[in-house]
Structure 1
Amino acid sequence: MDFDAESTPTLALRNAPEPKVRMSLTPRLVNRLRLKHWSLLSALGEASTLNQAAALINVTQPSATKMLSDIESAFGGALFERHARGMRATPLGSEVVAYARQTQASLERFLEGIEIKRRGGHGHLVFGTIMGAAPDLVARAVADIKRERPRLNIRILGETSDQIGVLLERHDIELAVGRFSDPLQHNKFDFAPLSDEPLRAVVRHQHPLARRRSLDWPELVRWPWVLQTMSSPSRLLLEEEFTRAGVASPADVIECTSVFATLQLLQSSDAVAVLPESVVRDHVKARLLVALPLVVGQELKAFGLLTRRDEPLSEIAQAFITHLQHNARLQATPRAAKRSKAARPPGG
């Protein structure tokens, strides 16, 4: 039997097995899930029971049960394991909850910005910063953008790099001024360096060591200390300093993530702390603190701009970044000149 060129493909198609038609997950989710469903998922990230989550979004438990059933049906599988003490997210459920929380945070920021503009304002900006950057770089950039946009609402969160990393990942802030606190964060965030951060060992003005002309680490570690937690880059650097000096870490320690609380503790006790020079500068000038004659061998790695990968920034955030980068360039010039002078040999 002969086949012409046109009939052959027709027969081939007739004899081929019929492909299975399966609806893609994307339209299924878009068609079936509403904002209230995402709000419930976000609430389940904070609550341990469905009843608590229902209360957070102001619905009854039966309604929440029906909503969760619809959500799991849309995703095609269980997102939570039920047990005697409540609910626990499955691995897939954890990813869905994390996305829901991010979406909720972004929506809340968007609506807040719209409301501010509706009232005649210039929108809002929410960002995080480490305290080492706040007194100089961040303060100047905030002042600059407020001169341009007096009715811009600005909210500043965080104190340490690990704190602002969590806020950035959860979409609670749009950008951050800090540094990586985890070796894998480069997979989530983009980083653009802004400035370095020299450290100073300080004590209160009345401290027995305040008038000493020379000190070493073996003597200093015998005093009480106020330290950042071990997740902080500055604490890790200080521990490396102890290692190089061949001394054990201080035994009398208060761990504190708040720079403000650290400064208060220093002024009310004979504790020692190592803090960014920009944080202690005004306290040293006011003779509240004394910088000890001890070189902290290394500076912290440069801090900079942290933003989420592959996510566009708002126009306000981009304008603020421009001010940050401008002030970083202005700040870098005198520092570079100071370093050059310090490195020049006597008589050179």
Structure 2
Amino acid sequence: MEYRQIPANAVPRLINRLRLKHWALLAALAETRTLHEAATRISVTQPSATKMLADIEQAFQFPLFERHSRGLRPTSLGEEVVGYARQSQASLARFIEGLEVKRRGGHGQLVIGAIMGAAPDLVARAVAQIKQQRPLLNIRMVGETSDQISTSLERHDIELAVGRFSSLLQHNLFDFTPLSNEVMQVVVRRGHALVRQKKLPLAALMDWPWILQPVTSPARHLLEEEFARARLSTPANIIECASVFATLQLLQTSDAVAALPESVVRDHVKAGLLRALPIPIGSDLKGFGILTRKGEPLSEIAATFVSLLHQFAEPAAVPAPRRGRRQAPASP
């Protein structure tokens, strides 16, 4: 198919020709990259999906996908169209879900992402406060690490996130407003052999199993930098786990070591289920904050939630650095 100049009447023509099913097909192709799987996902036959894609490309008057033996790959312009299709489907799903909540007597919906370091304190307090103000508000929280929630934010699966940038160029996609810092702690189960040692260099932990966050998370980047600074290799015996709940369970039932936010392990340490080791870590991890998509205003509910986050973050201002090596901010 040849590229043609888009005529002046392209917008009304596209609106008239493309239906919800067309956009649903494009969103499905973004996930599956094969017409067979995309057709199954939107409950049409493959011949129907093939014709729909042809109609879509005819409407746009340029190819959206390149055909390969392993499926379809979006063209450069196709990426733009597919991205919008995914955004529109996510927005429609949230609208329908919110409408259903209101039909049942509820009052709106808020979908947010939060890293596990912010969830136990700051986010939990803001959620509790807004639920007190709006008891019938439907709130959904997703995510564990910054890379997970930034992906959800980019895909319009959530309205805002509490985390940090997980890659260098994300400042082009998201606005960031700092909220707080978090101290990391290296923890093990109670009764662990390491608890009996008074002096513990990081090297003494290398022969033990470790539970680490995925390599795409900022906290994992920081931990790898700590290993490198100490001239140590990544531990050979590791479990990669993004779930805080699974990590806490694994810590209590094994001899594994993990570095987690203080807010996450605080109650477990107080209860004697976990023990914090005297190893400073996390001095180079930047504080977390609110991530929102550039150029997109927040809903009234989301704006209210953000104001609550700022309100609860104010008392937890970052203390001045101590002399010597400081034990600083962190969180996945």
Task: Output aligned runs, 1:1-348, within 5 Å.
Answer: 22-296=7-281, 298=283, 300-332=285-317, 336=319
Residues 254-295 of structure 1 show CA distances to partners (whole Å, capped at 9, x for unaligned) of 111111111111111111111100011001001011011121
Structure with bigger RCO (C-alpha 8 Å, 6+ apart): 2
Maintained 8 Å contact 1:199/1:299: no
Quick one: distance in 1 between partners of 2:10 and 2:310?
42
Quick one: distance in 1 between partners of 2:216 and 2:76?
25
Give the drift of 1:58. 2.3
Give the drift of 1:84. 4.5
Percent of pairs with identical residues: 65
Quick one: distance in 2 between partners of 1:308 and 1:244?
35
The one-letter code matched in structure 2 to 1:131 is: M
> Counterpart in 2 of 1:4?
none
Residue 80 of structure 2: SS of its match in structure 1?
A: helix
Give the drift of 1:91. 2.7
Cα distance 1:231–1:22, how it changes in 2: closer, same or farther (>3 A)? closer
Give the drift of 1:61. 3.3
Maintained 8 Å contact 1:199/1:300: no
Residue 107 of structure 2: SS of its match in structure 1?
A: coil
Quick one: distance in 2 between partners of 1:94 and 1:21?
17
Quick one: distance in 2 between partners of 1:197 and 1:46?
35
Quick one: distance in 1 between partners of 2:193 and 2:279?
15
> Counterpart in 1 of 2:328?
none
Residues 224-277 of structure 1 show CA distances to partners (whole Å, capped at 9, x for unaligned) of 211112211111111211222232222222111111111111111111111100
Quick one: distance in 2 between partners of 1:239 and 1:52?
39
Give the drift of 1:157. 0.5
The one-letter code matched in structure 2 to 1:176 is: A
Residues 90-143 of structure 1 show CA distances to partners (whole Å, capped at 9, x for unaligned) of 232232112101110011111211221122111111110100101000110100
Give the drift of 1:297. 5.4
The one-letter code matched in structure 2 to 1:216 is: P
Q: CA RMSD in A?
A: 2.0
Runs of at least 5 residues in structure 2 that lack an aligned partner in the other structure: 324-332
Quick one: distance in 2 between partners of 1:80 and 1:115?
35
TM-score, length-scaled by structure 2: 0.90
Quick one: distance in 1 between partners of 2:247 and 2:55?
49
Quick one: distance in 1 between partners of 2:229 and 2:70?
49
The structure with more radius of gyration? 1
Give the drift of 1:21. 10
Maintained 8 Å contact 1:198/1:300: no
Residues 304-342 of structure 1 show CA distances to partners (whole Å, capped at 9, x for unaligned) of 00000000111110111111111111232xx63xx58x6
Give the drift of 1:149. 0.6
Give the drift of 1:63. 3.0
Give the drift of 1:83. 4.2
Give the drift of 1:172. 0.4
TM-score, length-scaled by structure 1: 0.86
Residues 209-236 of structure 1 show CA distances to partners (whole Å, capped at 9, x for unaligned) of 1132221112122222111122111111
Runs of at least 5 residues in structure 1 that lack an aligned partner in the other structure: 1-19, 344-348
Give the drift of 1:162. 0.4
Give the drift of 1:299. 5.2
The one-letter code matched in structure 1 to 2:280 is: V
The one-letter code matched in structure 2 to 1:208 is: A
Quick one: distance in 1 between partners of 2:63 and 2:97?
34
Quick one: distance in 2 between partners of 1:112 and 1:203?
42
Residue 46 of structure 1: SS of its match in structure 2?
A: helix
Quick one: distance in 1 between partners of 2:107 and 2:6?
50
